[in-house]
Structure formats: structure tokens, C-alpha cells
Amino acid sequence: MSEINLPVVGILCDHEHVGPHPFHMSGNKYIQAVIQAANCVPILIPAIASQTNFLQLLNLVDGILLPGGYSMVDPLNYQEAAAPNETKLDIARDQTSFGLIKQAVASGVPIFGICRGFQEMNVAFGGSLHQKLHEHDVFQEHRENKNLSLDDQYEDSHKVMVTPLGQLSKIVVANEMNVNSLHTQGVDRLADNLAVEAVSEDGLCEAFSVIDAKAFSMAVQWHPEWKVMQNNKNAKLFAAFGRACKVRQSLKVNQQVALQVNQQKKCIEVL
């Protein structure tokens, strides 16, 4: 029997068109990782910033997951030249993620960014991105080979060196990790309030945490959700996020109980 009262994790959707119709959607692998490795209940957050009360939304969930996606973060968000016309963008997701990220961190709601979510968090806090890593000779190839099967695309492709004594090192209990790599963009300028948690062999930032955050606030450039239960270190990462969501849930419950007790005391005083 499933455990009752599990923490709830909101997963931000992509805004996509399927045929002529707009949809809000997220990949099953992220949903399953939240269920299996984080031990939380997933719900989907539509990318509709103008119609979303972010504070109300954050009161409903115990954590936020910013998943990967096929679109690129619009470079206009970090004051760089517009993306080429053929670039796939998702303006609706950009607007929604930027509205969520800062308020989630400020409110002490755990947040976990993956790939595009990693890039969104950096930009939300004032950082910038390389639009096309493969056009810079200093970086190795970080894109997937789309001619391969999914299993081959998501195979580990390079190492990352984990920052000693950092938050990630305490979670995975390792100085390095083998990770997959399926991204075109990458961190150029890291935002001032972010701490590097891991770098790839070519020096690219691959993981960071938010300095002085009240709760788990971390992002990684790779895809830990892929077959997460078959990868011990990635499973530990989701489990740490899940534990933080459980703490958040407990705090909310305690606050609600304290509020009810205070209301009962006021009623008794009136009587």
C-alpha cells in the first residue's frame, strides 16, 4: 500500500503545439523520477505566467521541479542578441519559470532544475548562457547524437568533478561523477548568488546551488531522471530533493496546527 500524505512536487510544463492545438506537457521520465526516487506526488504546472498566482501555487506544493525540454532559453532574457529564426523557443515557459524560481527560493520551497531548468535558474538570478557551446573551441561536444537510440543518447558521456565539501558532494558522496550530456546551451556567466557544485572536464559549470537558500535549491546540467533507479548517484540526488520536500511539508503542517490552536484559544477567550 502506498504511503499517504506524500509531499507534492509541481513540475513545470513546456508549452507545445500538437497539431493545431496548444498543450502544456512534461516528459514521463521526470514524473516517474519524482514518484520513484523522490517519493513524492507529481502535479503539472501549466506555463501560463499571466494567469498564475505564484504565491498561491507555492503554498499548494512542497517542491518545484524545472525539467529539461527541447526549447532554448530566449537570449533576450539575458540581454544578448536575438536567437536565429530557426531556434526553438518557449516564451511561455521562460516567463513562468522566472516567476516561480525567485519566489520559490525566497519562500523556502525546495527547487530542483534539470538541463533547461538549470539554465533557467542561472538566467533568473542574473547569469547568462552560451547559445551554442559547439561553436566555442574550448568546449567538448555536449549535444546528443540524434541518430542513436535513446539508450545510447542518454549513456554517460563525460565526467564532472564535484566541488569538495559542497552540497552535491555531501549528497552523492563522491569527488567525481560520470554523466550524460544532451544540451546545446550552457552557462557563460554564472549568477553571483550561485555556487559551483560540479564542472565538466572542459571547465563548463555542470551543477550549482543557490547560496544561502532556506531549502534545497540546486540544478544540474545533465539528466539524472533518465533510468534514475539504475544510477545510484542520480537516485541519491532525487532522494535528497524528496527529503527536502518532506521537511517543507512538515513545516506547513506544523504551521497549520499552530494556527488552529491559536484560533481555538481566541474562541475560548471570547466565551
Q: Would you name the residues annotated as active-site residues?
A: 115, 223, 225
User: How long is the chain?
Assistant: 271
Q: Shortest CA distance to 101 belongs to which of 129, 126, 75? A: 126
Write out the E strands in the chain. 8-12, 14-18, 21-25, 41-45, 63-66, 111-114, 129-130, 158-162, 176-179, 186-187, 194-200, 205-210, 217-220
3-state SS of the chain: helix, strand, coil percent to 5? 40, 20, 40
Which residues lie across from 42 on neighbouring strands?
A: 9
Residues with Cβ within 8 Å of residue 78, at least 6 apart in sequence: 123, 127, 128, 129
Instruction: From 8, 7, 11, 29, select the one nearest 230 (Cα to Cα).
Output: 29
Smallest CA-to-CA distance from 97 within 113, 120, 131 is with 120
